[in-house]
């Protein structure tokens, strides 16, 4: 139906030219319709690939979309109508990105939706899951920096019900959203979210056993400043789980490392000992980038412990 209405609109637009220049406008009309048809064919093929995915894929998709709809109190069509608009061209300063992106109501829901099928986001969960298997301490206190929708905090609290969490995000909209998500998932008693900047954390030195900073350090122009805060609030021998993308120059990334070595150097400068590091390439329609993930520690690793 939408397509017929579009076609009619196209005819109305061309009406006058068709009378005056019948051959060229008729040619233009057919060329345009053909191009639309080939675009639709491509979209159908893409949809078919998605439909053919297995049950695990669909179960995760269903869960994520249901959670987002519940938190937002919306139906799918309402959710789709509040998509985050693109940042104005050339915007590269943190305050404008915060105002136009992080502080919008739609932002945390869009970040949450990545977890339905976006491989780099799912890889974050896999990496954390792998590290959690090694961290079997009871009663750990962890802090999730730049928690966004709160998916990773929720995941850890579900995996480790005895742990407690704090979280800091620059966006009050993310705090509101993540609090609702924690309530929906029944883990809200174990977590305290607050607004704040990763470069100036509202915590005393030596507070946490584990700090998470996934896909946040590249959002500030001075990632070392954030990383030094991670180290400051970690207890001696505390762990950091971090992820930083390489060669992903999207507008909100104010730090764009060019290779995994650069990321490793950053950890070294912050005095973090990297215990496990992975760099994985993801091919996107817009090009490819490398996602890096690290488990690090603030003090030398005890002898005989193999974290790889």
Ligand X SMILES: C[S@@+](CC[C@H](N)C(=O)[O-])C[C@H]1O[C@@H](n2cnc3c(N)ncnc32)[C@H](O)[C@@H]1O
Contact residues for ligand X (CB under 6 A)?
A: 102, 111, 124, 146-148, 151-152, 168-171, 174, 197-199, 214-216, 219-220
Measured from the CB atom, the residue of 67 and 169 that comes closer to ligand X is: 169
Measured from the CB atom, the residue of 221 and 237 that comes closer to ligand X is: 221
| Minimum gap (Å) between residue 191 Cβ and ligand X | 14
Measured from the CB atom, the residue of 163 and 177 that comes closer to ligand X is: 177
CA 77 to chain centre: 22
Sheet with 287-297, side-by-side order of all strands = 191-195, 164-169, 141-145, 208-214, 234-246, 287-297, 273-284
| Minimum gap (Å) between residue 153 Cβ and ligand X | 9
Q: Which residue is nearest to ligand X (CB)?
A: 148
Measured from the CB atom, the residue of 174 and 272 that comes closer to ligand X is: 174
| Minimum gap (Å) between residue 307 Cβ and ligand X | 22
Measured from the CB atom, the residue of 190 and 301 that comes closer to ligand X is: 190
Tokens of 164: 């407690």
| Minimum gap (Å) between residue 206 Cβ and ligand X | 21
| Minimum gap (Å) between residue 199 Cβ and ligand X | 6
Measured from the CB atom, the residue of 124 and 160 that comes closer to ligand X is: 124
Measured from the CB atom, the residue of 135 and 254 that comes closer to ligand X is: 254
| Minimum gap (Å) between residue 102 Cβ and ligand X | 4
Residues 6 or more apart in contact with residue 129 via CB below 8 angstroms: 155, 159
Measured from the CB atom, the residue of 110 and 301 that comes closer to ligand X is: 110
Residues 6 or more apart in contact with residue 74 via CB below 8 angstroms: 82
| Minimum gap (Å) between residue 202 Cβ and ligand X | 11
| Minimum gap (Å) between residue 31 Cβ and ligand X | 40
């Amino acid at each position: 139906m939408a397509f017929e209405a579009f076609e009619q609109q196209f005819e109305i637009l061309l009406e006058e030219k068709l009378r005056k220049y019948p051959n060229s406008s008729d040619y233009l009309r057919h060329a345009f319709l053909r191009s639309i048809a080939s675009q639709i064919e491509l979209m159908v093929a893409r949809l078919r690939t998605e439909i053919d995915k297995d049950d695990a894929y669909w179960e995760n998709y269903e869960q994520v979309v249901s959670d987002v709809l519940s938190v937002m109190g919306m139906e799918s069509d309402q959710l789709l109508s509040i998509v985050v608009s693109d940042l104005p061209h050339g915007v590269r300063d943190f305050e404008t990105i915060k105002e136009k992106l992080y502080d919008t109501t739609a932002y945390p829901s869009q970040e949450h939706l990545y977890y339905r099928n976006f491989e780099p986001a799912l890889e974050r969960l896999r990496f954390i899951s792998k590290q959690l298997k090694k961290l079997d301490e009871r009663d750990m206190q962890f802090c999730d920096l730049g928690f966004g929708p709160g998916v990773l905090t929720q995941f850890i609290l579900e995996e480790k019900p005895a742990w407690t969490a704090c979280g800091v995000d620059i966006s009050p909209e993310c705090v509101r959203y993540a609090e609702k998500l924690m309530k929906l998932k029944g883990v809200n008693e174990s977590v305290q979210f607050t607004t704040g900047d990763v470069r100036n954390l509202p915590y005393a030195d030596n507070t946490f056993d584990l700090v998470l900073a996934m896909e946040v350090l590249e959002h500030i122009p001075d990632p070392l400043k954030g990383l030094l805060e991670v180290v400051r609030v970690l207890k001696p021998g505390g762990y950091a789980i971090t992820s930083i993308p390489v060669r992903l120059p999207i507008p909100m990334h104010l730090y764009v490392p060019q290779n995994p070595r650069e990321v490793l150097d950053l950890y070294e400068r912050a005095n973090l000992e990297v215990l496990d590091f992975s760099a994985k390439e993801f091919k996107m329609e817009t090009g490819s980038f490398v996602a890096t993930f690290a488990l690090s520690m603030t003090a030398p690793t005890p002898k005989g412990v193999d974290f790889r």
